[in-house]
Structure 1
Amino acid sequence: MPDLYIGLMSGTSVDSIDAVLVDFGDEDKPKPRILTALGHPIHPTLRDAILALCAPGPSELDRAGQLDRQLGQAFAEATNTLLARAGVKPGEITAIGSHGQTVRHRPPGAVATPFTVQLGDPNTIAALTGITTVADFRRRDMALGGQGAPLMPAFHRAAFATDCDRAVVNIGGMANITELAADGSVHGYDTGPGNALLDYWINLHKGQPFDRDGAWAASGRANPELLNRLLADPYFAARPPKSTGRETFNASWLEQACSGLELAPPDVQATLAEVTAASIAEAVHVFADGGELLICGGGAKNKDLLARLRRRLPTWSIADTGTYGIDADWLEAVGFAWLARQTLLGLPGNCPGVTGAREESVLGAIHPA
C-alpha cells in the first residue's frame, strides 16, 4: 500500500523550496522512494526579506509576522505545484513535513536562553493545501537541552546505516556530518560553512547566484594567510554537540578576516572552498581512518569542492547519496517527510548523541487539514 508524504525544505542558501513526494511503502521497514520532486523558486523580493531578517534589525516582529505568512503561502504553492505535476490529490497524502525557513538559530552557549526560529506558517500550509502539516521540528529537542540541530542524523541512520563506517555530509548553506559507525552508534554536528559564503562572494563580484561546478574557485589559489585566519575561528575547535548558521559565518566574518590583505576575488573564492573542505575533512578524520563518505546537498554537484575533499581524504570512498538510493538534491526534503511520519507514528526523531538533548523525543507539532 502506498504511504505518501510530502517533504518541504528551504535551507541556509535560500535558493529554492525543495518539495518531494515520497512513498514509504511498508510500515515496519520504510524505504523512502521519491515519486516526484521539484525546486520551487523563491521570489527575489521574498529571498531578500529572508536574508534581511537573518540579522538583527528594526521592526523585526512585524517583518517576521508577515514573512511567516508569506512563506507559508510559498510552501503551499510549492506543494500544490508538486501535486499537480504528480497527478495526486491532497486526500491521498498522509501529511506534509515542513522544515520552514530558519531566520535565527541561537543554540546553547550562544545566549543565556537558547532558541531557534523557523518561519513558514504551517496553519497556512494546511489551509491552502488541505493536507495535515507537521512542522516546528527543532524546538522540542532544544527544550530538552539539545542544539535543535542537526536533525537529519536519525533519518540518515534509518536510510544508510550498515556494518561499516559511513559518514553522510550535507553541504548546503552550512555543512554538517552524520557519523554512522560500524558498531551502530550515531554522532554528528555542523562542521561550519558550506556554500553560503561561496554563493555570497560570487554574487558580490560576478552577479551569479552560485559557482557552477566550483569553476571560479578552481581558477584561483587559496591564500594561506586568509585560510589560517578563517580556520582560527573558535567554532572549528569547539567540541560537539554544536550547530551554527549565518549568525556566525556571514559577510562580516569574511570581511573582517580579509582586512589588511591584498586578495584577488578568485583567490578568496578558492580559500572559502578550502575552508569548507578542510572543516569537513577534519570532522571525517576525527570519526574514522577510512570508510564510505556519502555527500548530499548542493555541494554534491561542486566538482572543485569534491576534488578538494578527495585530496584531503584519500582513504575514503566518496560518492553522492544517489549511489546509495536517494538523490543527493532531495535528501533533506525526504528527511522532513520522514520526520513527519515519525511524528504521526509517535516515534522519536532526534538523536541525543548528536544534539546533546537529554533524551529521545517525538518532534514537531501537528496542524490538521
Structure 2
Amino acid sequence: MARKAAPGDLYLGLISGTSADGIDAALVRFDPDPQLVLGRTYRWDDALRARLIELGQGGEATSLDELGELDVQVALAFAHAAGRLVSQAGLEPKQVRAIGSHGQTVRHRPEGAFPFTWQMGDGNVIAERTGISTVADFRRRDVAAGGHGAPLMPAFHAAMLHSAQEDRAVLNLGGIGNLTLLPSQGEIRGFDTGPANALLDAWCERHTGQAFDAGGAFAASGQVDADLLERLLDEPWFALPPPKSTGREQFHLDWVDAKLGDATLAPADVQATLVELSALTVAEALRATQAETKRVMVCGGGVHNPLLMQRLALRLVGMTVESTEVHGLHPDYVEAMGFAWLARETLAGRPGNLPSVSGAKGLRVLGALYPA
C-alpha cells in the first residue's frame, strides 16, 4: 500500500519538452501550499540532443541497438540532472520522496490502428543512479485507455490555478503550444494548439546559429508575410476539434520548407510569420472553445519572447494575458513541477489524467513506479 504523503515531503520533477532545449528539474514541496524549493535547467549533450530532435521529427533509428542505448543515455542525463539539483539544494537523495520523470518524447502517434506514444529515459536507470524512487512513463496508460496521453498538465493546472470567480486559461508555450481551460464552473478541458517554440527555435538556429531567438529580436527585425501565414494555416490539423495533440513529428522545418515552396523570403520575415502563427492559432483556439475567458496565464519558454506575448495580447483583446509568476508558479518550471505533482498523485493511488482533456475512457493512475 502506498504511504500517505507527509506534510513537507519533497518531490522532484524532470522534463525535456518538444524543443529539447534542456532538462528542466524542479524540487517541490506541496504541503500545505505548492513551493518551488529549487529549479534549474541543464543542457543536453549536443550530439545526443541533435539525435533526439532528428528522431522526434520522424527520423528513423539505425537499429534496435541504437534505440536501446538512447533510452539509457536519456535516463543517465535525467539522473545526472536530478543528482545535481539535489546537491545544489544542499540535500541528500533520501530526503526526496520520489522523482516524477517525463522523459524525452521521440514519437507520438495516439491515433491509428495501434496508438502509441514513446518517451525515452528508462526509469530503472534513473532510480538506480539517483537512489530515489522514480515514477516514469506517464502517458502510455492514458493512450491505452483510448486517450491522447496529452496534454497531462491540465489536472495540475486545475489544482493550482482554478478560480471560482472567473473563467481562466493556462497557456503553455513550450515546443508545442497547449491550452488548459479552467471555467469557473464546469468541465476542465485541454488540448494542443500547434507549434510554438519548436519551430521558432529551429528556424532561428538554422539562420543565426543561436539555439533560440533571445528576446524575440530576430522575429522583431522582420515582417509578417500574409501569403506564407495563409499557407501555414492551411493545415488540416488546425481544424480538428479537441481532444487533440501533436508534436515535432508533424511541425518541423521540412513542414515549413514545404509551405514556403518557391517563395523567397528574408529569414527574419519567416521568423516573424512563425510568431504570428503561434499567436493566431492560440487565439483562435481559445475564442472557439472558451470565448468568455478573463485571464490567460502563460508559462513555458515563450513567456520570455516579448514579441510573442505582445501578439498574443493583441489577439486576445479583453483578456488579461500574464505570466504564471503572478500566481506564484515560476513559468520556466511549471511543467517540471507538474511531473513532481503527478509522481505524488501516483504514489497516493490517485488518477493523474482528465478524460475531458485526453479523451480517455476514464480516470487512470498514471506512470510506473521504479523503487529506489
Q: Pairwise mapping of residues 291-330 of structure 1 onto structure 2 (< 5 A)?
A: 291-330=294-333
Q: Does 1:76 align with 2:89?
A: no
TM-score when normalising by structure 1: 0.97
Q: 2:264 aligns with which of 262, 265, 272?
A: 262
Taking the aligned partners of 1:204 and 1:345, their CA distance within structure 2 comes to: 45
Structure 1 counterpart of 2:276, which letter? E
Q: Does 1:10 align with 2:12?
A: no
What is the DSSP-based 3-state SS (H/G/I as helix, E as strand, rest coil) of the residue aligned with 2:219?
helix
Taking the aligned partners of 2:46 and 2:17, their CA distance within structure 1 comes to: 15
Q: Pairwise mapping of residues 201-216 of structure 1 onto structure 2 (< 5 A)?
A: 201-216=203-218
Structure 1 counterpart of 2:223, which letter? R
Post-superposition Cα deviations, 1:59-116, rounded to whole Å, max 9, x if no partner, equal: 24222211110111111111110011111111111100000000000012xx321100
Taking the aligned partners of 2:99 and 2:61, their CA distance within structure 1 comes to: 33
Q: Pairwise mapping of residues 204-353 of structure 1 onto structure 2 (< 5 A)?
A: 204-286=206-288, 287-353=290-356
TM-score when normalising by structure 2: 0.96
Taking the aligned partners of 1:284 and 1:294, their CA distance within structure 2 comes to: 13
Q: Is the 8 A contact 1:180 1:187 kept in 2?
A: yes
Q: Is the 8 A contact 1:289 1:315 kept in 2?
A: no
Partner of 1:25: 31
Q: Pairwise mapping of residues 153-192 of structure 1 onto structure 2 (< 5 A)?
A: 153-163=154-164, 164-192=166-194
Aligned pair count reads 363
Q: Is the 8 A contact 2:167 2:182 kept in 1?
A: yes
Partner of 2:92: 89
Q: Is the 8 A contact 1:7 1:334 kept in 2?
A: yes
Post-superposition Cα deviations, 1:335-355, rounded to whole Å, max 9, x if no partner, equal: 000000000000010010010
Taking the aligned partners of 2:101 and 2:343, their CA distance within structure 1 comes to: 8
Q: Is the 8 A contact 2:151 2:245 kept in 1?
A: yes
Higher mean Cα deviation, 151-160 or 58-67?
A: 58-67
Q: Is the 8 A contact 1:72 1:121 kept in 2?
A: yes
For structure 1, the residue ranges without an aligned partner over 5 or more in a row are none
Partner of 2:360: 357
Taking the aligned partners of 1:106 and 1:40, their CA distance within structure 2 comes to: 28
Taking the aligned partners of 2:50 and 2:36, their CA distance within structure 1 comes to: 31
Q: Pairwise mapping of residues 137-156 of structure 1 onto structure 2 (< 5 A)?
A: 137-156=138-157
Q: Is the 8 A contact 1:18 1:37 kept in 2?
A: yes
Q: Does 1:47 align with 2:49?
A: yes
Taking the aligned partners of 1:61 and 1:241, their CA distance within structure 2 comes to: 32
Taking the aligned partners of 1:313 and 1:233, their CA distance within structure 2 comes to: 22
Post-superposition Cα deviations, 1:133-183, rounded to whole Å, max 9, x if no partner, equal: 000000000011000000000000000011110000000011100000111
How far residue 58 of structure 1 moved from its aligned partner, in angstroms, is 4.3
Taking the aligned partners of 2:178 and 2:327, their CA distance within structure 1 comes to: 18
What is the DSSP-based 3-state SS (H/G/I as helix, E as strand, rest coil) of the residue aligned with 1:50?
helix
Taking the aligned partners of 1:326 and 1:81, their CA distance within structure 2 comes to: 22
Q: Is the 8 A contact 1:199 1:209 kept in 2?
A: yes
Please, what is the CA RMSD of the aligned residues? 0.9
Structure 1 counterpart of 2:92, which letter? K
Structure 2 counterpart of 1:297, which letter? G
Moved over 4 A (4+): none
Taking the aligned partners of 1:61 and 1:40, their CA distance within structure 2 comes to: 28
Q: Does 1:126 align with 2:127?
A: yes
Structure 2 counterpart of 1:190, which letter? D
Partner of 1:115: 116
Q: Is the 8 A contact 1:68 1:119 kept in 2?
A: yes
* Percent of aligned positions that are identical: 51
Q: 1:63 aligns with which of 52, 57, 66?
A: 66
Taking the aligned partners of 2:344 and 2:313, their CA distance within structure 1 comes to: 36
Taking the aligned partners of 1:227 and 1:58, their CA distance within structure 2 comes to: 33
Q: Is the 8 A contact 1:165 1:288 kept in 2?
A: no
